[in-house]
A and B are shown apart, each in its own frame.
Chain A
Amino acid sequence: MNPISPANKTSVFELKGSVITILVLHIKETDADSLYPQLEKKMNQARSFFKSAPLLIDLSAVDEEQQAALDFKYLSHKLRSLGVVPVGVRGSAAGQKERVLLAGLGLLPDIKTERTFDPPADPETLETVSVKEEKPPEPVAPEEEKLPAPVAEKEEKPPEPSETVTSQAGKTAPTKIVALPVRSGQQVFAPEGDLIILSSVNAGAEVLAAGNIHIYGALRGRALAGIHGDTTARIFSLQCNPELVAVAGEYVVNELLDERIINQSVMVSLENGSLKFDVVGSFNPAS
């Protein structure tokens, strides 16, 4: 059920796929005269934030003709001089792939399919360049509004005693439900939506979700919500004593936790760039 690494032949490395949050540069116009100055201005506003960050160039918004006008080598060089590290290009036209590779950049598959439930792009943005943290297909706001929806949906379903249930709640991303304790060495991952654990997350275990994480038990391991950068994601646990909690990459380790929240029922959210812990009650498992 979980990727407990098999004790296979001693290998000196492991090759694994991983889901990470990455900065994406969505290029809307390739005209060098407006692109580079704007880029420079934007990047210089937050030099330290962008410093050494890997960056993905998204060309889905520009047509092939415009792409052809883009000098990938120069763009790559320019971005590096601004402190970021371009790693690849997404949404490049078929005819441009060769040039992308020649510029030392990787090719990533088009994200079109994943973006189907993207809200219509706000039309008022006239900026040619927008740099933003890549989010999971941006259902952030709509998801927040109908937070109770998946819960209601769940109640209608017959009680599922099994370990994992994925429910398709209309437009929202599927919620993953785990009924058993998550034990040391195990990892549970909800790559798209919320994660609900109906038991405890023990020390040495790790739970990750693109959305919120609800733990109806003790959280003693690691919990990482909003792993694709959803800053509105939250973590709820009945008894909070985690090794580490993180929302959208912002994390706190156990040692730095306020003692007053330890073993309380706690909600963790991201506020002004740092984690906020709210005690929402206390829970005594013995009662």
Chain B
Amino acid sequence: MIEQNLTEESEQKSARVIVVTSGKGGVGKTTTSAAFAAGLAVRGYKTVVIDFDVGLRNLDLIMGCERRVVYDLLNVIHGEGSLNQALIKDKRVSNLFILPASQTRDKDALSMDGVGEVIATLQQSFDFIVCDSPAGIEKGAMTAMYFADEALVVTNPEISSVRDSDRIIGMLASKTRRAEQDLEPVKEHLVITRYDPLRVDKGDMLSADDIHEILAIPFLGVVPESKWVLAASNSGIPVTLTEEESDAGEAYFDMVDRFLGQERPFRFLDAPRRSIFSRLFRT
């Protein structure tokens, strides 16, 4: 049935699939997925964000729709519910949807063919499909990246995170559909989260330049270490949709705009100058 739809509606839009990945856990993949997807939706693109973290789902919490989950990705794959039943429409932005992961199933139930069909179906009616990858390099992560056209590689300014991202970038170049079918490679974008320029200056943290040099993929931007991220997560609001403007939210909007091909000056890279004296002495 899905295939029929595909041929009939091939004239329709075909969404870009964006995987948000990192290798390492806890670096901000889900926060980034939520904020980026919401940002794309605010900019007028019909966007769906899919949680691939089977068994450890969090995206619904961060998006604030955890009490509206009826069907999930695995139900759809196994034909226990339709895609439309599983998609949750965001209450704040009209063209933002969430496809939650299953919390009870085993991650092995995530079949590559099933996910492929779901993504192919979603591609007909959306502009962007954001895949929130689980940490690690196991099946969930491999499935999340397999159909990607673009990748947001989320990295913390810390060496273990950089190394894991490096590994993931290697896999994006070899273990994805685009790699296997010899298509144009997955377009990678470097996203550095939890960035603290003061600590970079002190030498406690890797600088964005260092990370960029090691990973050697195009740099999309940094998200500053911000109290807003935790506050937004805990209240179930993507940091790009908070009432008050936040630094992290602005950083994500900068990245969304850069991703959409617009020029935005890079912000949050330098520590604020403390006084007129330090300014005098520094330059």
**A-to-B contact residues, CB < 8 Å:** 1-2, 4, 7, 180-181, 183-186, 199-200, 202-205, 218, 220, 285-286
Docked-complex contact B173 and A184, CB < 8 angstroms: no
Does A220 contact B167, Cβ atoms closer than 8 Å?
Answer: no
Confirm or deny: B170 has a beta carbon within 8 angstroms of a beta carbon on chain A: yes
Asked if A183 and B137 make an inter-chain contact with CB atoms under 8 angstroms apart, the answer reads: no
B250 within 8 A of A: no
Residue numbers in B under 8 Å from A205 (CB-CB)? 166
* In the complex, number of A-B residue pairs with CB atoms less than 8 Å apart: 47
For residue A186, which residues in chain B have a CB less than 8 angstroms away from its CB? 170
Which of these, B137, B139, B142, B216, contacts A181 with CB under 8 Å? B216
22 example contacts (A-B, Cβ-Cβ < 8 A) are as follows A1-B173, A1-B179, A4-B171, A4-B174, A7-B138, A7-B139, A181-B216, A183-B167, A184-B163, A184-B164, A184-B167, A185-B167, A185-B170, A186-B170, A200-B216, A202-B214, A203-B159, A203-B163, A204-B167, A218-B213, A220-B214, A286-B209
Q: Is B178 an interface residue (CB 8 A)?
A: no
A81 CB to nearest chain B CB (Å): 48
Extra contacts besides A4-B174, A203-B163 (18): CB < 8 Å:
A1-B179, A4-B171, A7-B139, A181-B216, A183-B169, A183-B170, A184-B166, A184-B167, A185-B167, A199-B216, A202-B163, A202-B166, A203-B166, A204-B166, A204-B167, A218-B213, A218-B214, A220-B214
CB A182 to nearest CB in B, in angstroms, measures 8
Report A-chain residues with C-beta under 8 Å of the C-beta of B179.
1
Chain B interface mostly: helix
- Interface residues in chain B, defined as those with a beta carbon under 8 Å from any beta carbon in chain A: 137-139, 142, 159, 163-164, 166-167, 169-171, 173-175, 179, 209, 213-214, 216
In the complex, are the beta carbons of A7 and B137 less than 8 A apart?
Answer: yes
Tell whether, in the assembled complex, residue B163 and residue A180 are in contact, meaning their CB atoms are under 8 Å apart. Answer: no
B173 contacts A180, C-beta separation under 8 Å: yes
Residues of B close to A2: CB separation below 8 A: 170, 174
B107 CB, nearest partner CB in chain A, Å: 11
**What residues of A have a CB within 8 angstroms of the CB of B163 in the complex?**
184, 202-204
Kindly list chain B residues whose C-beta atoms are within 8 Å of the C-beta of A180. Answer: 173
User: Could you tell me the distance in whole angstroms from the C-beta of B154 to the nearest C-beta in chain A?
Assistant: 16
| Complex CA–CA separation, A54 to B211 (angstroms) | 44
Residues of B within 8 A of A220 (CB): 214
**Would you call A184 and B213 a contact (CB within 8 A)?**
no
**B134 to A: closest C-beta gap in Å:** 13
**Hey, which chain A residues are within 8 Å of B171, CB to CB?**
4, 185
Alpha-carbon separation in the docked complex, A183 to B171 (Å): 9
What is the CB-to-nearest-CB distance from A184 to chain B, in angstroms, rounded to a whole number?
4
* A285 in contact with B173 given A7-B142, A203-B166 (CB within 8 Å): no
Q: Chain A residues with Cβ under 8 A from B142's Cβ? A: 7
Q: Is the CB of B216 within 8 A of A4?
A: no
Question: Closest B-chain residue to A181, C-beta based?
Answer: B216
Chain A residues whose C-beta falls within 8 Å of the C-beta of B138 in the assembled complex? 7
**B137, B139, B166, B179 interface centre (most CB from chain A within 10 Å):** B166
Q: Which residues of A contact B173 (CB under 8 A)?
A: 1, 180
Give the shortest distance, in Å, between B208 (CB) and chain A (any CB): 13
Q: Which residues of B contact A1 (CB under 8 A)?
A: 173-174, 179
**A2 vs B213: C-alpha distance when bound (angstroms):** 22
Residue of A nearest to B164 (CB): A184
CB distance from A278 to the nearest CB of B (A): 24
Which residue from chain B places its CB closest to the CB of A182 in the assembled complex? B170
Question: How far apart sit A286 and B137, CA to CA, in the bound complex (Å)?
Answer: 32
Residues of chain A with a CB closer than 8 A to B139's CB: 7
Is B214 within 8 A of A200, CB to CB?
yes
Q: How far is the CA of A285 from the CA of B213 in the complex (A)?
A: 8
Chain B neighbourhood of A202, CB < 8 A: 163, 166, 214
Contacts of B137 in A (CB 8 A): 7
Q: How far is the CA of A16 from the CA of B43 in the complex (A)?
A: 51
Q: How far is the CA of A7 from the CA of B166 in the complex (A)?
A: 18
Q: Once the chains are docked, how many angstroms separate the CA of A202 from the CA of B169?
A: 12
The distance in angstroms between the C-alpha atoms of A200 and B169, with both chains bound, is 14
Q: Tell whether A4 pairs with B214 under 8 Å between CB atoms, given A184-B167, A184-B170, A185-B167.
A: no
Is the pair B166, A183 in contact by a Cβ cutoff of 8 Å?
yes
Chain B nearest Cβ from A164, distance in angstroms: 13
CA distance A131 to B153 in the complex (A): 53
CA distance A2 to B174 in the complex (A): 8
Q: Give bound CA distance, A4 to B171, whole Å.
A: 8
- Report Cα–Cα, A186/B169, bound state, in Å: 11
C-alpha gap A220/B169 in the complex (Å): 16
- Residue with the highest number of chain B CB atoms closer than 10 Å, among A1, A181, A183, A186: A183
CB distance from A230 to the nearest CB of B (A): 28
In the assembled complex, the CB of A38 is this many whole angstroms from the nearest CB of chain B, namely 51
The 9 closest A-B pairs by CB, nearest first: A183-B170, A184-B167, A184-B166, A185-B167, A183-B166, A202-B166, A186-B170, A181-B216, A1-B174
A180 closest partner in B (C-beta):
B173
